[in-house]
Amino acid sequence: MSFVNPTYLWSLLGLLVPIAIHLWNRSEGKTIKVGSIRLIKESQTSKSSRLQFNEFFLLILRLILISLVCFILASPVSIAKRSNLKIAYVVEPSLLKLKSLREALDSIMDKNEVYLFAENFPEYDNENLVSNIGERAFENPQYWQLAQQFFKLHSDSLVVFSKARLNGINGKRPEIAQKVNWIVIDSTESTSEIIEMTSFKDSLELLEFNIQQNLGRFSKIRIAAIDSTNYHITKNVLRHELDTIRVQFYDDLMIEAQVKYLKTSFTALGKYLKRPVVFNDFEIENSVRNPGILIWLSAKELPEFSNTILIFKPDAYAEKLIEKTEKPSVFKLTDTLHRKNILEEHLAENLLPLIGLHPKIDSKITEFDIRNIDKELLAPVFNSQSKKSYIVRLDLTPWLWLAFLLFFSIERIVSKHREQ
């Protein structure tokens, strides 16, 4: 046994207080009734200075109560060493839709522990599955983030049933101390979903995301507006309006032809995207009314601007003409524009991220992305320095509170009986 707050054990010195009280508390004199005091002779009374315990049982009860309070403050815990399980099974919740897998897990549960591949690894319970883990657990898990928590299962080896979805891989490959056998339930599913719709004057352009044989690709379908009922366009499809591309310029560097080249590239983009393009000189009033894109060709400090900004910042080590900066809405032009780099490095194509054609497309793709990866690419790095046992700490405080209430009740009963 150990204590979380051992300093509070010094409070056991408080046991001296009830001991002192009981030592100095003299017993009450005994009253003897007599008929007359005429025959009683006067004599000197001798006072006993000898210390003695009074109400010994009551003293013991109070000492126990004080001791219990001291131990409760110190927070005792019982420590036990336990061995790891030889093997445990982990299953991705979305796979439980497969009847054959559920039947296999029911037979495995007779001799082994089965957990769900979700936050905190809840135990598998086929009867109360949704109520135990919630609906969100059926979403694609983040495999590597959860794999870092495998040590909580206290098992030397794990068998993990997984779909190995590509969109469940994020971050750095972790190191773990458990041997893991990944069993990938290969998906032969194919999907085709319309994820975005762009409205034109008398027609619609549908952006379709297709997955077949574990490969994903996009395709555009142009249809007449009256034919939209022939396609599966749900309310969750992203609606994309054909907005005007608005570009504002601020140029006090006056580098030859920079504004001209940028305007020409934006105009070419507008024709390709079938969207009108409007150019303005930057003014504070216009920036609020027509935010659009700001081209800042100046060494002055950037103004407050709610939308995308392109700044001129030469960078000899840059890989592209236009690159992102630390701020997500700020891009930088890394070289002075001239005819050669405009053509060779495709300036118009570099300007596409500034327009933000599909700002919400990434999250939408994730909903329908059913591509999976090979288990060798999925597996974390194995670290052989694994522990064969683990420490279990049991908090004894609740039991001490129960004992305190019991002895306090006894002390009150004894004390009240003494007063009667």
pLDDT for the residue numbered 106: 87
pLDDT for the residue numbered 32: 66
Helices (H), 248-381: 258-273, 284-289, 339-344, 347-350, 352-355, 361-368, 375-378
Higher pLDDT, 214 or 185: 185
Q: Are residues 249 and 354 in the same domain?
A: yes
d(C-alpha 277, C-alpha 270), whole Å: 6
d(C-alpha 329, C-alpha 261), whole Å: 22
How many other CB atoms sit within 10 Å of the CB of residue 334? 20
Q: Is residue 134 part of a domain?
A: yes
pLDDT for the residue numbered 213: 60
* Residue 246 · residue 292 · CB < 8 Å: yes
Q: Is residue 141 part of a domain?
A: yes
Q: Are residues 276 and 349 in the same domain?
A: yes
Q: Are residues 343 and 286 in the same domain?
A: yes
| Helix (H) or strand (E) run with residue 88 in it | strand 85-91
- Contacting residues for 103 by C-beta, under 8 A, at least 6 apart: none
Q: Are residues 352 and 252 in the same domain?
A: yes
- Mean pLDDT, range 36-58, rounded to an integer: 59
Decide if pLDDT at 48 tops 90: no
pLDDT for the residue numbered 51: 41
Decide if pLDDT at 56 tops 90: no
β-pairing, 2-3 with 389-395?
Answer: unpaired
Decide if pLDDT at 38 tops 90: no
Decide if pLDDT at 81 tops 50: yes
Domain interval for residue 236: 191-241
For the chain, percent of residues with pLDDT exceeding 90: 22
Decide if pLDDT at 33 tops 60: yes
pLDDT for the residue numbered 274: 83
Nearest to 94 by CA among 12, 8, 162, 26: 162
Q: pLDDT band at 293, cuts 50/70/90?
A: very high
- Mean pLDDT, range 15-19, rounded to an integer: 81
- Mean pLDDT, range 331-344, rounded to an integer: 94
- Contacting residues for 73 by C-beta, under 8 A, at least 6 apart: 5, 8, 11
Q: Are residues 299 and 334 in the same domain?
A: yes
Q: Based on C-alpha coordinates, what's the Rg of the chain?
A: 40
d(C-alpha 210, C-alpha 220), whole Å: 11
Angle at 325 between CA 323 and CA 328, to 5 degrees: 105
Q: Are residues 341 and 273 in the same domain?
A: yes
On whether the pTM is more than 0.85, the answer is no
How does DSSP assign 346-413, residue by residue? THHHHTHHHH-S-TTHHHHHHHH---B--HHHHPPEE-S---SEEEEEEE-HHHHHHHHHHHHHHHHH
212, β-bridge pairs: 215
Q: Is residue 183 part of a domain?
A: yes
Q: Is residue 365 part of a domain?
A: no
Amino acid at 301: E
d(C-alpha 107, C-alpha 92), whole Å: 17
Domain count, the chain: 3
Q: pLDDT band at 278, cuts 50/70/90?
A: very high
Q: Are residues 324 and 383 in the same domain?
A: no
- Mean pLDDT, range 301-330, rounded to an integer: 90
- Mean pLDDT, range 63-87, rounded to an integer: 82
Q: Are residues 217 and 231 in the same domain?
A: yes
- Mean pLDDT, range 158-180, rounded to an integer: 87
Distances from the Cα of 219 to the Cα of 105, 205, 207, 253, 361, angstroms:
41, 10, 6, 43, 14
For the chain, the average pLDDT equals 81
What SS3 class is residue 71? helix
> Residue 78 — φ and ψ, nearest 5°?
-95, 130
Q: Are residues 231 and 306 in the same domain?
A: no
Nearest to 374 by CA among 164, 209, 170: 164
For the chain, percent of residues with pLDDT exceeding 70: 81
Q: Are residues 195 and 252 in the same domain?
A: no
Burial 104-128 (b: 16+ CB within 10 A, else e): ebeebeeeebbbbbbeebeebeeee
Decide if pLDDT at 90 tops 90: yes
Tokens of 329: 């809405």
pLDDT for the residue numbered 320: 92
What is the side-by-side strand order in the sheet with 308-312? 277-281, 245-251, 293-297, 308-312, 330-333, 322-324
Distances from the Cα of 123 to the Cα of 77, 111, 118, angstroms:
26, 14, 10
> Residue 401 — φ and ψ, nearest 5°?
-65, -40
pLDDT for the residue numbered 109: 87
Q: How many CA atoms lie within 13 A of 352 on its CB side?
A: 9
Higher pLDDT, 400 or 193: 400
Q: Are residues 257 and 352 in the same domain?
A: yes
Tokens of 136: 């969100």
pLDDT for the residue numbered 101: 87
Q: Are residues 266 and 290 in the same domain?
A: yes
Among the listed ranges 135-149, 157-171, 341-355, which one has the minimum average pLDDT value? 135-149
Q: Is residue 280 part of a domain?
A: yes
pLDDT for the residue numbered 53: 46
Q: Is residue 335 part of a domain?
A: yes
Instruction: Give residue-wise pLDDT tens across range 234-254.
Output: 877 888 777 789 999 999 888
Nearest to 211 by CA among 370, 366, 374, 372: 370
Domain of residue 297, CATH code: 3.40.390
